[in-house]
Chain A
Amino acid sequence: MISVMQTIPATLASHAPAAAGAAHAPTAPGDSSAIWLILIPLLPLVSSILCGIYRAWGVTSKLPGYTTVLALAVSFIVTLTGYLSFGGAGVQIVHGFQWLNISWGEAHGQSLTANFSLYIDSLTWLWMLFVTGLATLIALYSTEYMSEDQKNGGYARYFSFFSLFVFAMSCLVMGDNLLLLYLGWEGVGLCSYLLIGYYYTKPAAVAAAKKAFIVNRIGDLGLALGMMLAFVEFGSLEFSEIFARVAEIQATVAAGGHVSWQIEAIPLLLMVGAFGKSAQLPLYVWLPDAMEGPTPVSALIHAATMVTAGVYLIARFLPLFALNPTSLAIVAWVGGLTALLAATIGMSQFDIKRVMAYSTVSQLGYMFLGLGVLTATGAAYHVFTHAFFKATLFLSCGAVMHGFAGQLDLRKLSGLRKLKGWGIVTLAMLVGCLCLAGFPFTSGFFSKDMILAEAFVTQGPGYQALGILALITAGMTAYYSFRVFFRVFCGPVEFHPSDDHHGDSEEEHEAHEDAEGHHGFHPHAPGWAINLVLMVLIVGSLAAAIPYFVDKENHGWVGGLVHDSTAGHLVLPTVAHGAEDAAHGAEAVAHGEGFWSDPHKWMYYVSGTIGFIGIGLAWLIHMTRRTEAATAPIADGLKNAMRPVSTWCERKWYVDEFYDIIFRYPLKILSHLFYLLDQLLVDGLVNFAGAVPRMLGRSLRPSQNGLLQSYAVGMGGGVAVILFIVWILL
């Protein structure tokens, strides 16, 4: 493994608008050596292999769990050290080893190069910090959560996949070329598949896993084609080359030039991949089903990290997206509509984990909206805060599920805060819900406001309407998150254990039922690992607001990171701003004089008020006059009053059924037809052709029964004769 290390100091002109025609590449080469950064992806990989070996050896202790926690913790420390050492130093390219290398000439673009090398800039640091950090915490949580599966070997298997996921995720985020990004992209998809299907004896889990993989593959198709088009257009898959070429195009555009439609098509293809991985319309359907996996997996993969890969992809290639305003508009609208649709479904679900799943889809929609309205900072910051508070929420749900034998129905749980040992879980849920609802001065409040405000000021097709939709969605979000909190954690104490336990072992199930009886069920309060992790996450969720106040010039710490990355320099092919950096132009408009002309200011009040209204409604509907877990008179009344709409929401707008009818069933029928055709027609013709010489042979020379000869000589000889005649004629 030959390793060379280059550092590319950022020569970013920070706020100075690019002079007309003078393209500045966001990066330029320099030197340094930090091969140890390769440990960030390597340690999780090693841990995954070790856990695989433990599985083969039949280790039943908690060794796999602790190995994983250790490896991930060290990986996080390395990330942190790396960030502190190189965080402001521009791009680091760490060369690993050759992966795909082939060339067909000496000229530029006549070779395909994709290596296992890392491309680390500030955007990468942002992602890797929360990925490795949260992964460590959630792995620790899992050591307790998954302990029931120690006996049957599931424990080691779980941690093997878990570590493999972190490895794949770091390849995705840190890869220095599109192909390595694609490896990570499909790799996280694989881990997601394996972990959703962790309880593999449950048909629902198997189906959900399959669905996740296939729907993601549809998105991957877009990504793959986008990657190929990028290669054909830019002559390379490596980021440094691609961004150098993009900078050239930006220069032409700034000088009034045109963007070719091929270049414009690249973001359109890439976004399909992003929509698949980040569960946006029309490909979001896999994420709610993915909740069949163990809850820590939902927290890490399906809420905090993997699903933000699409946001990462678009943020990484934002300069390319900016060159095609249509693509930005599509991203914004898809994001906004997904946020709204998922929120309507989230309001009407009874499974609290599903509520959280739809809220994830909805929040991801916000992030895409943010990208579409060109506030990569807002989107990335929302990714960051969301990672913390959504992990908190999921892990709280997980604690409930763990303690109440898999019960997740909010009609069967009530008043948990009054139970002994559930204080931290209650607090975590409260903090998570506050952040999710955008309660003033929580982290979610600041990050969401950035996106909302920007939606109102950015110029684009119907962006104002989109902003209003997003505000309505914010109200719904506040409502459904506190609906969960008020019903499950407040009110009279009541709980019923679930019928189906989340464990996959039948004996366990029986054992539980024996212990439960019908009246003698005792929930077991979470132990130290779960409580510790929840406490850290409570602090983390709240503290995620702090970066907003750091580095105010760049709209917070995250803003600074985004600004120093490839997403920091955008050129829009619009006339309005001329050669000026349009993103900054938009902001300049936004920060005009007076209160109402700065949406960042009034948005605080508007969104804060809407959040209060949502929470108030939840209080009114789900707390007042509620005497037992299942009955909330106002809620039921409302539901009946809004009959068709509420049913459609509850049934998830029948999107799954719709897809079945227009895609799955027709394809299945087509496949059967193909198979029939294959047997009857395609093969039938062959058999007919085969029978002809046999019949000829029988009729002409009854004495001869040599099947092989007659057939072969007949056919082959005949064709030889034809060819010979043709040759003579020529």
Chain B
Amino acid sequence: MTLLVLILIPLAGALVVGLSPERQAKWIALAWTSLALGAAIFAAFMFDWANPGVIQFSPKNHASGDLTPLLPLVPSLGISISLGADSVSMFLILLTTLLGPLCVLGSFTAITERVKTFYVWLLILQAAMTGVFAARDLILFYVCFEFTLAPMFVLISLYGSTNRRYAAIKFFLYTFTGSMIALAGLVYVAWVYSTIHNGAWSFDIADMQHAALTMSRTEQTWVLFALLAGFAVKVPLFPVHTWLPLAHTEAPTAGSVLLAGVLLKLGTYGIFRFVLPFVPLAVAEYASLIAIISIIGILYAGFICWVQTDVKKLVAYSSVSHLGFCVLGLVALNMVGGAGSVMYMINHGLSTGALFFCIGMMYERYHTRSMNEVGGLARRMPVWSFFMVFFTMASVGLPGLNGFVGEFMALLGTFQSGARTIGAGGTHGPLGPWFAAVAATGMIVAAMYLLYMVGRVVFGPLKEPDHHHAHETLPADLNAREITVLAPLAVLCVVLGVYPSPMLRALEAPVATTIAAAREASSRMAPVPMDSGHAEVALIHDGEASR
């Protein structure tokens, strides 16, 4: 029930905002998103942190331990609304609900026309995103996953910059196509379930996982690529990323923040929730390929960042680069990499979200994002500059701030994974030190482009556009409202950077469950024992037999 409330609050908020007068819209939206945040914090308190790997907030059948659906929609097809969260979902829900009120607060002066529509769609977007993380059955997951597109499409196409129509359509079509293919893969898994269970249907994630594990290696490979088609576009991974810089650049600030902060995580969350546990054999086989793609993305996008003049585009491309680390950690198939990757999802949401806020605040004052036109703002906006440098440092992965934890762990996980000596700290896995060594050069590239950005926008001689006039309502530097938007993010960056231990402990159980099968498969692929081939054959054989 708790999770349902978390989805319903923003929906109800959307309704209320829709019915309220235009002028009060922002305050009502703020109230409802704050309410959702309060509810999420309450849910976090209710969450049993002693068992973070157990799916919670789900009406539990204590006799069998099965999760029963909340609302059976089409029982004959096994379609239902069932919700539940483990710690990974919980953290992502908290991130989503935290960014909600901040986005509303950050849009107070930026959105001046069609205000109501804006907040209605923003609230709907939040509900959809919460739904993705809380869903325990495939249909609900997929509906929410796709439904995030519509609000985002509206936000970009109505409130974006000059090229917004093109960006919005491209964003929609690109990600929609990808997720259609992913749906095909998921439906295929459901089909497998139905074949095993004599025509009975279920879309419950746990049920489907059992079914998926019976698939042969070839089937798994097909499903892997189908799923990746959807999730890789969303992440986005290297060759399918081109919608992102465009969408980010054109989107309004709140849209960019949610896009970078949460929507990209739908991709990595999808990989975490579906790809790793569903198709372990294929993952073990293709992990190194996915890792190579991620590493190419890290460096390729990083270098592209370095030659940007549009500061928003720079940060957008930096997301492509950063999320490469995230996927890399996931396919390392070990605890450090997996937990680091989940940390990365949260941390990237905080620091890059905050960077987009900062850029939005600059844009509101100067109406330009070009580093050729503005520069040296430290002199004009010291408070803003402080936050800008701070979040840049978090993004660059400075130890002591949050970005470092995820980045270091993702890299260490990669390094450990399949280390030549399975010695003291090495683990079985598909990657190895060379992957980590190449990926780690991304740390240097990140320093290059982020300091290049800060060096031009924040430091150096003051440069303002010629046509620049002071904003009618905004002061030269940040006002109290804007500081309120950035301060919580900054505090969280420090807290998660200095004391991530509790969170890491809470990630142990779900990460272990998620990667178990793939890791097992990977260690059996290791060329050490002679009978490894037999083991695989046996597993596939078992799979066929049980069908």
Q: Is A715 an interface residue (CB 8 A)?
A: yes
List chain B residues, Cβ under 8 A from A670: 303
Residue among B229, B411, B447 having the largest count of chain A Cβ atoms under 10 Å: B447
Q: Which segment of B2-10, B60-68, B418-426 sits at the interface?
A: B418-426
Of A102, A186, A678, A730, which contacts B505 at CB under 8 A?
A102
Please tell me if the beta carbons of B501 and A99 are within 8 angstroms of each other in the complex: yes
Q: A183-B400, A221-B443, A236-B424 are in contact. Are A723 and B188 (CB under 8 A)?
A: yes
A600 to chain B, nearest CB (A): 41
The residue on B at minimum CB distance from A717 is: B180
Mostly, the B contact residues are helix
Q: Is A197 an interface residue (CB 8 A)?
A: yes
Q: How far is the CA of A220 from the CA of B242 in the complex (A)?
A: 31
Please tell me if the beta carbons of A218 and B444 are within 8 angstroms of each other in the complex: yes
List chain A residues, Cβ under 8 A from B335: 102-104
A176 to chain B, nearest CB (A): 15
Q: How far is the CA of A109 from the CA of B433 in the complex (A)?
A: 17
Q: Which segment of A347-355, A397-405, A706-714 sits at the interface?
A: A706-714
B520 to chain A, nearest CB (A): 13
Q: A228-B433, A668-B306 are in contact. Are A730 and B459 (CB under 8 A)?
A: no
Q: Is B147 an interface residue (CB 8 A)?
A: no
List chain A residues, Cβ under 8 A from B437: 225
List chain A residues, Cβ under 8 A from B207: none
Of A101, A213, A225, A678, which contacts B440 at CB under 8 A?
A225
Q: Is B31 an interface residue (CB 8 A)?
A: no
Q: A712-B180, A723-B222 are in contact. Are A225 and B447 (CB under 8 A)?
A: no
Please tell me if the beta carbons of B303 and A232 are within 8 angstroms of each other in the complex: no
List chain B residues, Cβ under 8 A from A671: 303-304, 306-307
Of A213, A233, A262, A720, which contacts B451 at CB under 8 A?
A213
Q: A102-B339, A206-B455 are in contact. Are A712 and B304 (CB under 8 A)?
A: no
The residue on A at minimum CB distance from B415 is: A228
List chain B residues, Cβ under 8 A from A200: 376, 378, 458-460
List chain B residues, Cβ under 8 A from A690: 170, 173-174
Q: How far is the CA of A674 from the CA of B242 in the complex (A)?
A: 12
Q: A153-B382, A672-B307 are in contact. Are A203 and B461 (CB under 8 A)?
A: yes
Residue among B400, B411, B512 having the largest count of chain A Cβ atoms under 10 Å: B400
Q: Is B431 an interface residue (CB 8 A)?
A: no
Interface residues on B, range: 35 or more
Q: How far is the CA of A183 from the CA of B308 in the complex (A)?
A: 30
The residue on A at minimum CB distance from B240 is: A686
Q: Is A584 an interface residue (CB 8 A)?
A: no
Interface residues on A, range: 35 or more
A119 to chain B, nearest CB (A): 17
Q: A217-B443, A708-B173, A712-B180 are in contact. Are A187 and B399 (CB under 8 A)?
A: yes
Please tell me if the beta carbons of B452 and A210 are within 8 angstroms of each other in the complex: yes
Q: Is B99 an interface residue (CB 8 A)?
A: no
List chain B residues, Cβ under 8 A from A201: 376, 378-379, 459-462
Q: How far is the CA of A686 from the CA of B507 in the complex (A)?
A: 37
Task: Please encode chain A, from 190 to 213, with 1 for each CB lying within 8 Å of some chain B CB and 0 for all others.
Answer: 100100010011010011011001
Q: How far is the CA of A235 from the CA of B303 in the complex (A)?
A: 34
Q: How far is the CA of A683 from the CA of B166 in the complex (A)?
A: 13
List chain B residues, Cβ under 8 A from A209: 455, 459
The residue on B at minimum CB distance from A103 is: B508
Of A98, A102, A686, which contacts B336 at CB under 8 A?
A102
Q: How far is the CA of A85 from the CA of B241 in the complex (A)?
A: 60
Q: How far is the CA of A667 from the CA of B499 in the complex (A)?
A: 37
Q: How far is the CA of A615 from the CA of B308 in the complex (A)?
A: 52
List chain A residues, Cβ under 8 A from B507: 102
Q: How far is the CA of A342 from the CA of B427 in the complex (A)?
A: 44
Q: Is A675 an interface residue (CB 8 A)?
A: yes
Within 8 A of A (CB), among B433-447: 433, 436-437, 440-441, 443-444, 447
List chain A residues, Cβ under 8 A from B451: 193, 210, 213-214
Q: Is A234 an interface residue (CB 8 A)?
A: yes
Q: How far is the CA of A724 from the CA of B433 in the complex (A)?
A: 39
Please tell me if the beta carbons of A712 and B303 are within 8 angstroms of each other in the complex: no
Please tell me if the beta carbons of B462 and A214 are within 8 angstroms of each other in the complex: no
Q: A102-B339, A229-B415 are in contact. Are A262 and B379 (CB under 8 A)?
A: no
Q: Is A726 an interface residue (CB 8 A)?
A: yes
Q: Is B540 an interface residue (CB 8 A)?
A: no
Please tell me if the beta carbons of A233 and B425 are within 8 angstroms of each other in the complex: yes
List chain A residues, Cβ under 8 A from B185: 723
* Other A-B pairs, 18, CB within 8 Å; known A99-B501, A100-B405, A101-B501: A100-B500, A101-B505, A116-B498, A183-B399, A186-B398, A187-B399, A197-B459, A203-B461, A231-B425, A236-B424, A245-B424, A671-B304, A690-B173, A708-B173, A711-B177, A720-B187, A727-B188, A730-B219
Binding site for B on A (CB under 8 A): 97-104, 108-109, 112, 116, 153, 179, 182-183, 186-187, 190, 193, 197, 200-201, 203, 206-207, 209-210, 213-214, 217-218, 220-221, 224-225, 228-229, 231-236, 245, 260, 262, 667-668, 670-672, 674-675, 678, 682-683, 686, 690, 707-708, 711-712, 715-717, 719-720, 723, 726-727, 730
Binding site for A on B (CB under 8 A): 169-170, 172-174, 176-177, 180-181, 183-185, 187-188, 191, 216, 218-219, 222, 226, 229, 239-243, 300, 303-304, 306-308, 334-336, 339, 376, 378-379, 382, 393, 398-400, 404-405, 408-409, 411-412, 415-416, 419-421, 423-427, 433, 436-437, 440-441, 443-444, 447-448, 451-452, 455, 458-462, 498-501, 504-505, 507-508, 512
Closest 5 CB pairs of A and B: A235-B424, A716-B180, A104-B335, A109-B424, A183-B399
Residue contacts A-B, CB under 8 angstroms, 26 given: A100-B409, A100-B501, A101-B504, A102-B339, A102-B508, A104-B335, A109-B425, A153-B382, A183-B399, A200-B376, A200-B460, A210-B455, A214-B451, A224-B443, A228-B412, A228-B416, A245-B424, A667-B306, A686-B242, A686-B243, A708-B173, A712-B173, A716-B183, A719-B180, A723-B184, A727-B219
